Amino acid sequence: MDFLQPRSWADALAARAERPDAVPIAGGTDLMVDLNFDRRRPGALLDLGRVAELREWSVGDGAGGGRTVRLGAGVPYARIVDELGDRLPGLAMAARTVGSPQIRVRGTVGGNLGSASPAGDAHPPLLAVGAVIEVESAARGARRIPAADFYTGVKRSALAEDELIAAVLLPEAAGPQQFCKVGTRNAMVIAVSAFACALHPDRKAVGTGIGSAAPTPRRAPEAEEFLAGELDSAGLWDSRGELPETLARAFGERVAAAASPIDDVRGSAAYRRHSLSVMARRSVLWAWTQYQHDLRKAA
Amino acid sequence: MRITTTVNGTRHDVDDVWPGESLLYVLRERMGLPGSKNACEQGECGSCTVYLDGEPVCACLVAAGQAIDREITTVEGLATGEGLHPVQEAFVEAGAVQCGFCTPGLLVAAHDLLERVPDPSDLEIREALAGNLCRCTGYEKILDAVRLAASRQARA
């Protein structure tokens, strides 16, 4: 096994192109487990830890007049919690639930995407805000893949063999965002099921992301359209009146219907569906309460 | 491959390291520093917690090459001089050590917490130690030890 340690993004892309048998490693929190247990023996490790560009984030103008955060693929979860809680509240909440302190200082969103496990904690909030994944190869340059198109199967993604994940582009939050995750304890949990929601009052839209309850992380588009439509027709986006419990419940049922979970060691399909409906109902009520509170703060 | 790294303030050069090896293996088997314990090898138990450039990490999840030119502090490096570090003293006095296997990792995690948060709440202690498993103590004595170390640190 070889150990490749590029010092720049260009060198990393060149190494990726040259060595299709190399496996990229960032925080190592997933890959090293496979190496330790001899489940995987790649021809080379491509260590991205020395590529400074990957560990940076910046804010720029986004589509539609908003601001966009460009989050380097190698920014560890601990820094997302510390530095981006205001701009990316949903992702920061999810980041807080990742593993343990030791895992959060190492693990990265790029790693979560590279592994593309349906249980990855970062995926639901990326889906809920319509994040875009920026990938790049030495041969074809950069391209952008919407998160919803990135996940193609269990631990499979749209990433080509010669590509690396450069960054994730996320709109700065225009409204409240929430994240929930079910597991057996508060730390060190692989999600039994997870859910993220985002209110986008600027375009009167609702975003969702489901984790651990389908072959890939996925949105619940019908639930999104249903809730946004109901809020609109009741004039609630403008009045910021109470969100009826019945509406939140109906939203939760639609979120659960969007999942296609399986029975496994962590939980049954029925439990995953049920927990999703509960998480969706609760989290949207939390988000709505925040939305009402935001107005009082602004007033 | 050759690994050059600084561990507990001393520069180490180690040759013939297999690139898929973990930092934990290098520390224990190649540098003769068995303080960091090897238990789960999957980042679940925290018994291999060491500082990597000042941050507590699971050494089992760091590839050996990722430690090149980095500064590492293991449990062996917490105390300076002959005696124990105050966090270690507190663990002994509070009865936070039973079989001792989880202790090195918990010491590093507790040391890190008290460096960042001198007077932690119980919630902060629990959160900081959430990545460290102990199968003997039931954790209460460990929490006592961290509180004891914090109170002594405040008086010092």
**Interface size, chain A vs chain B, as Cβ–Cβ contacts under 8 Å:** 91
Band (pLDDT 50/70/90 cuts) for residue A298 is low
Based on DSSP, count helices (H) and strands (E) in chain A, helices before strands: 12, 13
Scan for tokens 């090897």, then name that residue: B38
Model pLDDT, residue A239: 96
CB B43 to CB A41 under 8 A?
Answer: no
CB B20 to CB A2 under 8 A?
Answer: no
Neighbours of B14 (CB within 10 A): 18
Mean local confidence (pLDDT), A75-91: 98
In the predicted structure, residue A299 carries a pLDDT above the cut 60: no
Which of A23, A36, A48 would best serve as a mutation to test chain B binding (most B beta carbons within 10 A)?
A36
* pTM across the whole model: 0.96
CB A105 to CB B18 under 8 A?
Answer: no
Band (pLDDT 50/70/90 cuts) for residue B6 is very high
Pairing mode of beta strands A156-157, A151-153: antiparallel
Band (pLDDT 50/70/90 cuts) for residue A297 is low
Residues of B in contact with A35 (CB under 8 A): 20, 22, 63
Whole-angstrom distance, CA of residue A66 vs CA of residue A79: 23
> What ipTM was estimated for this complex?
0.97
Give, in words, the CATH class of A54-171.
Answer: alpha beta
**Domains of chain B from N-terminus onward:** 3-77 (3.10.20.30), 86-155 (1.10.150.120)
The four Cα atoms A70, A72, A78, A84 give a dihedral, to 10 degrees, of -10
CB A32 to CB B44 under 8 A?
Answer: no
Tokens of B152: 């002594």
CB B66 to CB A186 under 8 A?
Answer: no
Residues of B in contact with A49 (CB under 8 A): 66
Model pLDDT, residue B124: 97
Scan for tokens 């929930």, then name that residue: A180
Contact by Cβ (8 Å): A200, A174: yes
In the predicted structure, residue A295 carries a pLDDT above the cut 80: no
Q: Which of residues 38-57 of A touch B (CB under 8 A)?
A: 41, 44-45, 47, 49
CB A36 to CB B22 under 8 A?
Answer: yes
Domain A177-298 has CATH 3.30.930.10: no
What is the maximum span of chain A, computed from C-alpha positions, in angstroms?
62
CA angle, residues A169, A120, A203, in degrees to nearest 5: 40
Whole-angstrom distance, CA of residue A246 vs CA of residue A227: 11
List, for residues B69-81, the tens digit of each pLDDT value. 999 999 999 998 8
In the predicted structure, residue B144 carries a pLDDT above the cut 90: yes
Whole-angstrom distance, CA of residue B110 vs CA of residue A33: 25
In the predicted structure, residue A64 carries a pLDDT above the cut 80: no
Contact by Cβ (8 Å): B97, B139: no
**Phi (first) and psi of residue A94, to 5 degrees:** -65, -40
Give the E-state strand segments of B40-93 in sequence order.
Answer: 49-52, 55-58, 71-73
Angle at which helices B86-94 and B103-116 cross, to 10°: 120
Whole-angstrom distance, CA of residue A251 vs CA of residue A226: 7
Model pLDDT, residue A187: 87
Model pLDDT, residue A261: 95
- For residue A275, how far is the Cα from the chain centroid? 19
What secondary structure does DSSP assign to B85-101, as a single string? Answer: -HHHHHHHHHT--SS-S
> Quick one: DSSP state of residue B118?
S
Band (pLDDT 50/70/90 cuts) for residue A62 is confident
List, for residues B14-44, the tens digit of each pLDDT value. 999 999 999 999 999 999 999 999 999 999 9
Band (pLDDT 50/70/90 cuts) for residue B155 is confident
- How big is chain B, counted in residues? 156
Band (pLDDT 50/70/90 cuts) for residue A102 is very high
What is the domain partition of chain A in residue ranges? 54-171, 177-298
Scan for tokens 């050069």, then name that residue: B13
What is the maximum span of chain B, computed from C-alpha positions, in angstroms?
48
Tokens of A198: 């985002």
CB A49 to CB B130 under 8 A?
Answer: no
Model pLDDT, residue A186: 84
Whole-angstrom distance, CA of residue A61 vs CA of residue A3: 38
Using a pLDDT cut of 70, give the percent of chain B over it. Answer: 100
